[in-house]
């Protein structure tokens, strides 16, 4: 359960179109009005995002509860208009992702449980000196990254329509089906209540590390570099099925492990979050709006990871992905989880772990709000910790990838001093 995890935050940097400055106030008002109108039409399909969370205790057993979305008596999604006296370069041309970026998103310190009183979706439009930043913050209990990009793509589709319409090419599927034979929505969750029957949240658990202690940087892998890494790992394993993402991830795993300089017998792990919609039995629609992910976790000793070749690490990742997504999620597995649900984000961070979110397949640069192709895509400060990585397609396409990597400052410095690594990025 993602009760104490943070909101998902994704934002787009757009350049102001030619002539925007000559009549900027009117053009901004027109843009904002159309964004609001198209957002309202989009929320007709993605109506859970306009709701609020509600917790209901089981009458005969108060230790069991159900958390659901009230879509009928809620104040709706939030829309913010702001301005910032900075240029796009002030945000994009720094060596590391600047802290000012956090001000471009709502819900900076909110956790998902706050969705009982705060909006489940906030859109913040910030006017820069020479650009427009559109930031989206979405409660992770409502949906995963696939659902977030489904919503953003649909919003863009409605915005671009020549006539006002709520028709979209991929309507979301909202059917929240329980496992076969189970009709009870109540779960036993490890939540603690005070004397006023309010949930006690330890926000220190949600804030794994203060954002100021993390150094965050975007590393770009060109399409040529990605092809070379993929060819290398498949040649080393005499294989063809290792993917581009698995090849680049293996390269990152080895380089960051070397930068961390742990003892050779210490275990290190790489977590890849994968879509499980098509792997359930029966399959869940690909357009299902909610959370339906599985984690592929590859583990190795730091020494053996560095001693073996890149292909060995990539094959390890590939096998774990196959183990998690190559087989259906059984009724027994689902029922087992329901009987022993845990709070994601409540465990202590593992300094030898890497976690990869996002996907190079998301339609990141296809998002169009009448301002042209996004100059860049960024995430907010929420849910950042040592070892967190987010991948997205590179702006030039062709299989290129951008990795947003969060590391402790001394580890980032060590990584940037690694010649093998720096020769592969720009």
Please list the active-site residues: 368
Q: Taking a C-beta distance cutoff of 8 angstroms, is the pair 227, 394 a contact?
A: no
Q: Residue 240 is encoded by which pair of tokens? A: 């063809």
* DSSP string computed for 248-300: HHHHHHHHHHHHHT--TTSEEEEEEEEE-GGGBSSPPPTTB-S--EEEEEEEE
Q: Tell me the CA end-to-end span of the chain in Å, nearest whole number.
A: 37
Crossing angle of helices 244-260/310-325, nearest 10°?
A: 120
**CA 371, CA 349: separation in Å to the nearest integer?**
40
List Cα–Cα distances, 138 to 20, 33, 42, 390, in angstroms. Answer: 29, 21, 14, 16
How many Å apart are CA 36 and CA 172, to the nearest integer? 20
CB 254 within 8 A of CB 313: yes
Coil, strand or helix at 58:
strand
């Amino acid at each position: 359960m993602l009760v104490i995890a943070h909101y998902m935050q994704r934002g787009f940097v757009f350049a102001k179109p030619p002539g925007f400055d000559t009549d900027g106030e009117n053009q901004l008002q027109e843009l904002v009005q159309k964004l609001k109108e198209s957002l309202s039409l989009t929320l007709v399909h993605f109506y859970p995002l306009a709701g609020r969370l509600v917790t209901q205790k089981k009458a005969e057993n108060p230790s069991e509860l159900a958390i659901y979305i009230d879509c009928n008596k809620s104040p709706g999604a939030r829309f913010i208009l702001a301005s910032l006296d900075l240029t796009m370069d002030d945000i994009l041309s720094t060596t590391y992702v600047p802290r000012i970026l956090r001000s471009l998103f709502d819900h900076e310190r909110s956790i998902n449980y706050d969705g009982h009183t705060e909006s489940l979706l906030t859109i913040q439009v910030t006017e820069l000196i020479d650009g427009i930043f559109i930031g989206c913050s979405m409660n992770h209990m409502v949906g995963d990254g696939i659902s977030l990009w489904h919503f953003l793509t649909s919003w863009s589709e409605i915005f671009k329509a020549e006539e006002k319409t709520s028709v979209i090419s991929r309507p979301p599927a909202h059917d929240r089906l329980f496992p076969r034979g189970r009709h009870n929505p109540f779960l036993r969750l490890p939540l603690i209540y005070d004397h006023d029957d309010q949930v006690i949240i330890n926000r220190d658990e949600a804030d794994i590390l203060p954002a100021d202690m993390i150094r965050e940087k975007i590393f770009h892998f060109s399409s040529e570099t990605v092809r070379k890494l993929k060819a290398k790992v498949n040649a080393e394993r005499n294989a063809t099925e290792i993917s581009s993402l698995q090849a680049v991830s293996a390269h990152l795993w080895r380089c960051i492990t070397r930068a961390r300089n742990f003892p050779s017998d210490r275990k290190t792990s790489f977590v890849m979050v994968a879509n499980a919609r098509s792997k359930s039995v029966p399959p869940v629609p690909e357009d299902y709006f909610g959370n339906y992910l599985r984690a592929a976790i590859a583990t190795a000793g730091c020494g053996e990871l560095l001693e073996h070749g890149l292909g060995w690490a990539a094959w390890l990742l590939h096998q774990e992905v196959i183990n998690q997504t190559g087989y259906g999620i059984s009724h027994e597995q689902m029922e087992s989880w329901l009987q022993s649900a845990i709070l994601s984000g409540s465990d202590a961070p593992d300094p030898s772990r890497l976690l990869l979110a996002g996907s190079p397949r998301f339609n990141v640069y296809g998002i169009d709000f009448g301002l042209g192709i996004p100059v860049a895509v960024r995430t907010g400060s929420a849910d950042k910790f040592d070892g967190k990585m987010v991948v997205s397609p590179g702006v030039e396409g062709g299989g290129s990838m951008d990795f947003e990597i969060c590391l402790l400052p001394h580890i980032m410095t060590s990584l940037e001093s690694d010649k093998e690594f720096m020769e592969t990025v720009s």
